[in-house]
Every structure is written in C-alpha cells, then in structure tokens.
C-alpha cells in the first residue's frame, strides 16, 4: 500500500468529521474513501483473437481460470484483481447482475449479461497480491467482435494505466487491426507494453528478430514517451512478463497521486480556508463583516452576468467548431477513397471496420484540435474572472465526471471530455446499417459492369458521391446531439461548482457573524479550537506532500 494511501485511509474519517462539524457538505467522502481504499488501475490486454491472452493469464496466475478455446461471439471483458476473498461478479451495462461460479466463468455461462456486459474476478492469488493496485483486463480479440475496438478505447481509456498489446509469435508482425488500434492509442497518448506470446513456437533467434521488428513498428506509431517495452512469453516461460507488470505497479503510485491524492488535498484546502475565515485573521467587526457580505453579493451578481456572456460566447462558436470537426472527418474519409473503393469491388470486405475506424480517428483528432480548446479557453476565462470573495478556495475543478459505476478515479478538467464524448458516440448504430444498405445497391449495379477499369472508377464515384455523404450525414447528426449535450453538461458543472463555492463563502461569513456576537472569552476559546483544527489539517497535508 502506498504511504499516501495509508495516510488517507487513516485520516479521511477525521477530515469528514471536521466537515460535518463545520456544516460543510460531506457527501464526497463516500467516493473519496472508496477510491482511497480500493484504488486500482486497469491494464487492458489487447490482441487479435487467439493471440494467447487467456493462456498467458492462466499461466501467470498458476491456475486454469479462463477458457482457452472460447466462442468469440460471446466473449466478455474480464477484469482480474487481488482480494482477500475469491469472488466473481457479473455486470450488465455496468450494473451488478449476479455472482458467478468458477465453472460458469470458464464455460462462459453469462448470456444474461448481454453484449456490453463484463465480469469482475477477485482472487486471493500470490501474483495479484504482489500487484495490489493493478487490474488485468482480458478483453475480446480485436477481430472477434465488431465493437471490441470501440470497447477497448472508450470503456478503458480513462481508467487504464497502460495497454498491454499481445502479438502472437506465429504472426511475427503487427496485424493491421493492431496497427490501427495503436494509432488510436497514440492520439490519446496512452502508454503501451507489448508481449510476444507463444514464444515457444519459434526459435530464440526468431523471437529476438520478431521483438526487434515489432519494436520498430510500435515506435513508428507511438510517441516516444508512450512506448514502454517489448517482452516475449509463453505458457511455460513468462519470467519477463512479471517484472514488466511490477514496473506498472510502481507507476500506479503516480496515478494515485495525480487523482485521489490531488482530490483529497483540494478537499482539505476547502475546509482549511473555511476555518481560516472563521479564525478572523483580518479582525473584522460586525459592521465590516456586513459590508463584506454585501460586496460578495454584488460581485456574485456581476459575475453571473459575465458567466451568462461566456455561455453565449461558447455557444456562438459551437457551430463553427462542429463544422471544423465534421470537415476534418470528411477529409479523412475522402483521403481513403481508393481503399474504400477497393473494398466495395470486393463486395464490402472489411469496409465497415474501415469506415468506423476512419470516423473514430477523424473525430478524435477533430475533438482534440477544435472542441477541447474551445472548452479549455471557456474554463480559463471563468477561472480568471472569479470574484475575489469566491477565492476562499481557489481549487476549482470543473469536472466532466464519468459515472460508469466502475470505481473510476477522478479525472478533472477538459482532458476528460474526449473519452467521455467518444464513448457516447454510437458508431455501430450510425455506420453499420448505412453501409450494409448502400453496398447492396452498388453491388447489384456493379455486377453488370464488364471492364475492371470502369468498375473501379464506378466504385470511386460511388464512394465519393454516395457512401461518404450518407455516412457524414449520420455522423454530423449524432455528433451535434452529443457535443450539444456535453457542452450543456460542462456549463452545468461550472454553475454547480460556483454555486457551491458561493454557498460555502456565505456560510463561513454567517458563522463568523454569529461568533462575533459572542463574548470575548468565548471567541478566544473558539479561536483555540480553530487553531487546533488547522494544525490537524496541516499535519495531514504535510503527510500527503512529503
């Protein structure tokens, strides 16, 4: 357990009691306590179907936990982590459904969990005990389910420390689906560890050559800081994998500091500054205090007018940003006209995946380039215009919270918007029905064409004049709805936090007014209590900032 984690587990109840003592909202402590006690980051294991993910996990755990010969259509994400007591839980759409037996897990007896279900396996296992902050997530093969790629990105991006890419030595190189997946991870700057599986199927010399080739391929796709390592393993020899996982365990402490510790420090700072107001370091009398309360009300009214103007400004820019993103997606699709046309000529082979991937990449790039700066500038202007009276606590976190019920850690600010919006985008619902329909129409016509050149030109025209416009019409419709909803959520989060800070400031001044009506002896006694509580908070902060 991390030192700061021990501090939080020990001291959060004390901080919560102080929150309640000073009549501040303590609802946040339930989630904060849970994240402190049960902090885990996911390590998704990704690969083509039959890359050997389940076999490697079984070997690492020294038990036959997962089925090796599985039905790709029914395979669900399986998250495995340490616990004192063995337990297997089944979830449907992130809602707990039932407890499973080991036999049900191995036989994949979880049809009632649905296509979007997942399984959480808690094991009292020596290896997992040595990796207490990691959760190994065995995900469906990228080629096994049409939504596997989307799930691996959108369900795990914000909750994962690194992705573990499995490449079979029998393949000897990166498949196109893996390259596409890595390209998307590169956009999100996600760290990647590569494992060459089934190393016992090739000679040591071949394995070394494969490692070097795969390393070069991965480094050509990923930013330098996101490439971690390439190691080889088999069911009988996985000595190189354990140190790689142990290194990730060490990295998890930094993620804990960036999320749970940061939120805890902000929470303590709110209380600390509240008590400092009550301690009346400015030696205000009742008349001065009433003047300060009046000034705060006037500043707040003026700020609300500014906030309204900011809302109008960001909404006035919305259509331009939406147009820029859709044009970016359209340009990416147009640039792949020949590739799409070739798929059309071969009766639609892989074109659904091609289109979905291109839309997703184009959207990710467009969001990063156009939507994220729009929101960041909006938040920065609001923070810079906050009334002085509201700066009792300057630790504003305009959160885009990700309520997926999977014990997520806190990720704040505009950086969280991208994975949340991407997960909201219904790729399959938008694209697959369209392509199925329009390909059928084209194929019935193209069969009448005799000349290859004529057919290719017809396919290119069809892609440009029919396929891309129809896909873009659906993309723009859905993108507008989703980004509108996300922008509204950002505005609501901003307003909610400002209201909370204003209420806290009012409460502090009201409590101080009551205190000033007491006798001098009572005030002196109260100030001693404040000083004692501030000392307690400072001690906790020092422990969290060694």
In the numeric block, which tokens belong to residue 81?
A: 């982590």
The two beta strands, 77-82 and 192-197, are unpaired
Coil, strand or helix at 63: coil
Task: Give per-10-residue mean pLDDT for the chain (546 aa).
Answer: 95 97 93 94 88 89 84 76 95 90 87 86 96 94 66 79 93 89 90 93 92 94 92 86 95 94 93 92 89 90 92 94 95 93 75 85 90 88 80 45 36 44 53 57 56 81 91 89 86 87 91 92 93 96 91
78 backbone dihedrals φ, ψ, rounded to 5°: -125, 115
Contact 193, 248 (CB under 8 A): yes
Which two three-digit tokens encode residue 101?
Answer: 């037996």
Specify the pairing of strand 134-138 against strand 118-123.
unpaired
C-alpha span between 105 and 117 (Å, rounded): 13
* Closest to 480 (Cα-Cα) out of 365, 375, 325, 374: 325
φ/ψ (deg, to 5) at 164: -110, 110
Distances (CA, A) of 308 to 61, 303, 304, 475: 56, 9, 6, 30
Instruction: Return the closest-CA partner of residue 327 out of 368, 362, 372, 361.
Output: 362
- Burial annotation 55-78 (CB, 10 A radius, 16+ → b, else e): bbbbbbbeeebbeeebeeeebbbb
DSSP lists the bridge partners of residue 165 as: 46, 194
Which pLDDT score, from 0 to 100, does residue 144 have? 62
- Contact call for residues 65 and 121 (beta carbons, < 8 A): yes
Token output for 134: 């990691």
For 453, list phi and psi in degrees, rounded to 5: -60, -40
- Extract the tokens encoding 11: 């001291």
End-to-end CA distance of the chain: 16
Answer whether 294's CB lies under 8 Å from 41's CB. no
Q: Is 198 helix (H, G, I), strand (E, B) or coil?
A: coil
Going by their DSSP bridges, the two strands 77-82 and 134-138 should be labelled as antiparallel
Please give the pLDDT value at position 413. 36
Q: In sequence order, what DSSP letters do the residues of 378-391 get, joined into one string?
A: HHHHHHHT--GGGG
Tokens 């009448």 sit on residue: 448
Helices 351-366 and 417-424 pack at an angle, to 10 degrees, of 150
CA distance 31 to 329: 38
Domain borders along the chain are 41-239, 255-538
| Total length of the chain | 546
* CB count in 10 Å sphere of residue 193: 23
pLDDT at site 179:
92
CA distance 160 to 151: 13
How many whole angstroms from its chain centre is CA 419? 6
Cβ atoms 325, 367 nearer than 8 A? yes
Instruction: Tokens for 201, please give them.
Output: 């199927």
CA-CA distance, 253 to 41, in Å (whole number)? Answer: 10
> To which CATH superfamily is domain 41-239 assigned?
P-loop containing nucleotide triphosphate hydrolases (3.40.50.300)
pLDDT of the residue at 501: 87
Query: What residues form DSSP beta bridges with 136?
Result: 43, 80
Closest CA to 78 of 110, 37, 51, 49: 110
Give pLDDT, residue 131.
97
CA-to-CA distance for 132 and 68, rounded, in angstroms? 25
Distance CA 180, CA 400 (A): 28
Angle at 136 (CA atoms; ends 134, 141), nearest 5 degrees = 155
CA dihedral 439, 442, 443, 445 (to 10 degrees): 160
pLDDT at 134: 97
The per-residue DSSP string of 109-170 comes to --GGG-TT-EEEEEE--HHHHTSTTEEEEEPPPTTT-TTHHHHHHHTTGGGBS-EEEEEETT
């Amino acid at each position: 357990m991390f030192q700061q984690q021990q501090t939080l587990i020990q001291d959060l109840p004390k901080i919560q009691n102080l929150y309640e003592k000073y009549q501040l909202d303590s609802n946040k402590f339930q989630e904060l306590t849970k994240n402190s006690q049960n902090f885990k980051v996911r390590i998704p294991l990704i690969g083509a179907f039959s890359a050997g993910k389940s076999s490697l996990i079984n070997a690492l755990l020294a038990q036959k936990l997962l089925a090796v010969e599985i039905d790709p259509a029914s395979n669900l994400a399986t998250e495995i982590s340490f616990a004192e007591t063995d337990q297997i839980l089944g979830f449907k759409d992130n809602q707990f459904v039932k407890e499973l037996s080991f036999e049900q897990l191995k036989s994949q007896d979880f049809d009632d969990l649905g296509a979007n279900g997942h399984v959480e396996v808690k094991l009292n296992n020596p290896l997992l005990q040595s990796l207490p902050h990691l959760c190994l997530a065995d995900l469906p093969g990228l080629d096994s389910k049409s939504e596997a790629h989307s799930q691996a990105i959108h369900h795990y991006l914000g909750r994962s420390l690194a992705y573990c890419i499995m490449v079979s030595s029998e393949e000897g190189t990166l498949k196109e689906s893996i390259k596409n997946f890595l390209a998307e991870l590169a956009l999100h700057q996600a760290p990647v560890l590569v494992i060459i599986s089934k190393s016992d199927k090739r000679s040591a010399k071949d394995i070394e050559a494969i490692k070097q080739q795969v390393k070069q391929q991965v480094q050509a796709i990923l930013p330098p800081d996101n490439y971690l390592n390439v190691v080889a393993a088999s069911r009988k020899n996985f000595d190189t994998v354990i140190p790689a996982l142990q290194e990730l365990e060490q990295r998890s402490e930094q993620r804990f500091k960036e999320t749970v510790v940061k939120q805890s420090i902000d929470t303590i700072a709110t209380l600390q500054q509240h008590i400092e107001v009550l301690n009346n370091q400015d030696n205000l009398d009742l008349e001065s205090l009433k003047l300060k309360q009046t000034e705060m009300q006037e500043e707040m009214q003026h700020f609300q007018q500014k906030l309204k103007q900011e809302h109008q400004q960001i909404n006035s820019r919305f259509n331009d940003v939406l147009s820029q993103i859709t044009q970016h997606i359209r340009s990416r699709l147009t640039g792949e006209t020949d590739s799409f046309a070739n798929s059309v000529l071969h009766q639609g082979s892989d074109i659904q995946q091609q289109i979905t991937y291109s839309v997703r990449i184009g959207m990710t790039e467009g969001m990063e380039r156009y939507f994220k700066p729009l929101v960041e500038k909006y938040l920065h202007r609001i923070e810079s215009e906050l009334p002085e009276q509201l700066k009792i606590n300057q630790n504003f976190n305009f959160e885009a919270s990700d309520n997926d019920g999977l014990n997520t850690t806190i990720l704040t600010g505009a950086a969280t918007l991208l994975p949340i919006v991407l997960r909201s985008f219904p790729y399959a619902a938008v694209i697959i029905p369209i392509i199925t329909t329009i390909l059928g129409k084209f194929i019935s016509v193209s069969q009448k064409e005799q000349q290859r050149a004529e057919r290719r030109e017809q396919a290119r025209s069809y892609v440009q004049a029919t396929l891309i416009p129809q896909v873009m019409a659906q993309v723009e419709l859905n993108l507008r709805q989703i980004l509108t909803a996300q922008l509204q959520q950002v505005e609501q989060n901003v307003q909610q936090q400002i209201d909370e800070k204003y209420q806290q400031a009012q409460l502090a001044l009201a409590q101080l007014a009551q205190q000033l009506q007491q006798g001098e002896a009572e005030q002196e006694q109260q100030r001693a209590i404040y000083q004692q509580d501030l000392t307690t908070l400072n001690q906790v902060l020092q422990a969290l900032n060694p």
